[in-house]
Amino acid sequence: MKQKLFDKFAELFGSSEGAHFYFAPGRVNLIGEHTDYNGGHVFPCALTMGTYAAARKRDDRKMHFYSMNLDTFGVVETSLDDMTNKPEYNWANYPFGVVWAFAEKGHPIDSGFDMVIWGNIPNGAGLSSSASLEVLTGVILTDLFGITDLTMTDLALIGQYSENNFNGCNCGIMDQFASANGKKDNAIFLDTNTLKFEYAPIKLDDAKIIITNSKVKHSLVDSAYNDRRQECTDALAALKTKLDINSLGDLTPEEFEANKDLIKDPIQLKRAKHAVYENQRTIDAVAALKAGDITKFGQLMNQSHISLRDDYEVSCEEIDILVDLAWAIPGVIGSRITGGGFGGCTVSIVKNDSVDTFIDSIGKTYKEKVGHEAEFYTVDIGAGASRLD
Ligand code: GLA
């Protein structure tokens, strides 16, 4: 991959001398969905799929971005003297937004740079290609400009800040955090309230984690996401009229049940219920995993799906078909929607003996029912973002 990127870099920018090679992963979340902006827990892991870059500093104030996946956009040129999001920059608004966020957070860069990227995260699949691009840009900026006082968590926060304020999606911290702090063969048990985290080794001797890509992405995903977030904020405000809490993640299910009547709006009530119970499920799932009880982990994944489908309403027909088919296969320990929702992927834990049946039978029936093929990836848990050379 490095050679291809560097050849392209040389073709576009004269030579690749002095350029460096970087990588940031995508992520899959095992459990803890739509809890990260509610002060709850999440349990994602970084993938070995991600975004690669070759990058080099320039002497002037221009930035050049080129994607080998989206080459029809050609080289996108932006400038440090006009740091505004422009629709024609398209995908390059993600790396550009990180440059803007560095300046906003007190780390302005003093010259431009050239950057060529190529990624193998399927586009629009909900496996965090944009977070990976943000964290990748953060790593590149700290490396090229000698910024030494930012941790990987800081880079995740800056990536999230840019996505919230430059690119208009009010996402939580999970995706950027996983891309920045991923660890090979480990998932990350993160408390999004404190950003304290611990690694949990994922050693499944007789099972595999399989991602199934529905290859659908429904429109208005960002606005539906922002609506969910607002509904949770409103539910929290209703609870705060009586309770001294900072987030829905502060409540146990029992405390929630005792106080839920404060939330008058039925939609807000369902959203808050999901956030509170999902947080508890995530805590319980990690405890089950540590205790070696993968069956319980799988049951909690299934409950997570039901809650995301019925109370949070972020699933869709195609994803429900995938999950229902998975649940019907003996040897499937758990299966659920993963990521923001409204399409994208499911994540399933499948016994080794059942993997072939899982892929063949779901693949066939999904195609019959939906009209196009699903894609399957066996999860390989990789490390967080870094410079590779
Ligand atoms: C998207 C967001 C994350 C998180 C998930 C849902 O991936 O970027 O912050 O909220 O949805 O869990």
The pLDDT assigned to 113 comes to 98
Nearest atom within ligand 1 for CA of residue 128: 7
* Rounded-to-integer distance, Cα 143 and Cα 243, Å: 45
DSSP string, 107-140: ---SS-EEEEEEE-SPTTSSS-HHHHHHHHHHHH
Q: Over the stretch 273-282, which tens digit does the pLDDT of each residue have?
A: 999 999 999 9
* Rounded-to-integer distance, Cα 134 and Cα 153, Å: 13
Query: What does DSSP assign to residue 339?
Result: S
| Ligand 1 center to 228 CA (angstroms) | 11
Which of 135, 174, 176 maximizes ligand 1 atoms within 8 Å of its Cβ, making it the mutation to test the pocket? 174
First and final CA of the chain: distance in angstroms? 13
Q: Which residues are annotated as a binding site for Mg(2+)?
A: 130, 163
Residue 384: name the closest of 27, 8, 20 by CA: 27
Angle between helices 93-104 and 129-144 (to 10 degrees): 50
Query: What does DSSP assign to residue 183?
Result: B
| Ligand 1 center to 126 CA (angstroms) | 9
Residues in the chain: 389
The pLDDT assigned to 218 comes to 80
Residue 306: name the closest of 319, 293, 295 by CA: 319
Tokens of 178: 């996983």
Nearest atom within ligand 1 for CA of residue 36: 10
| Ligand 1 center to 131 CA (angstroms) | 10
Nearest CA to ligand 1 atom 9: 172
Nearest atom within ligand 1 for CA of residue 29: 12
Active site residue 175: yes
* Rounded-to-integer distance, Cα 132 and Cα 126, Å: 12
Which of 28, 30, 35, 36 maximizes ligand 1 atoms within 8 Å of its Cβ, making it the mutation to test the pocket? 36
Nearest CA to ligand 1 atom 11: 340
In DSSP terms, which residues pair with 213 in a beta bridge? 345, 375
Q: Which residues are annotated as a binding site for substrate?
A: 33-36, 225
Q: Which domains does the chain have, with CATH numbers?
A: 2-201+383-387 (3.30.230.10), 207-378 (3.30.70.890)
Which of 28, 34, 195, 346 maximizes ligand 1 atoms within 8 Å of its Cβ, making it the mutation to test the pocket? 34
Q: Which of 7, 149, 175, 227 is catalytic?
A: 175
Rg of the chain (C-alpha set): 21
SS3 content of the chain, % helix, strand, coil (to 5): 45, 25, 30
Cβ contact 187:30 at 8 Å: yes
The pLDDT assigned to 123 comes to 84
Nearest atom within ligand 1 for CA of residue 340: 11
| Ligand 1 center to 377 CA (angstroms) | 20
| Ligand 1 center to 362 CA (angstroms) | 26
Exposure string for 26-65, b = 16+ CB within 10 A, e = fewer: bbbbbbbbbbbbbbbbbbbbbbbbbbbbbbbbeeeeebbb
Tens digit of pLDDT at every position of the chain (389 positions): 899 999 999 999 999 999 999 999 999 999 999 999 999 999 999 999 999 999 999 999 999 999 999 999 999 999 999 999 999 999 999 999 999 999 999 999 999 999 999 999 998 899 999 999 999 999 999 999 999 999 999 999 999 999 999 998 899 999 999 999 999 999 999 999 999 999 999 999 899 999 999 999 887 677 899 999 999 999 999 999 999 999 999 999 999 999 999 999 999 999 999 999 999 999 999 999 999 999 999 999 999 999 999 999 999 999 999 999 999 999 999 999 999 999 999 999 999 999 999 999 999 999 999 999 999 999 999 999 999 99
| Ligand 1 center to 4 CA (angstroms) | 32
- If one counts every other C-beta atom within 10 angstroms of the C-beta of residue 370, the result is 16
Tokens of 220: 């208005």
Angle at 326 (CA atoms; ends 321, 332), nearest 5 degrees: 165
* Rounded-to-integer distance, Cα 368 and Cα 322, Å: 12
Pocket of ligand 1 (CB under 6 A): 29, 33-34, 36-37, 171-172, 174-175, 339-340
- If one counts every other C-beta atom within 10 angstroms of the C-beta of residue 383, the result is 16
In DSSP terms, which residues pair with 196 in a beta bridge? 191
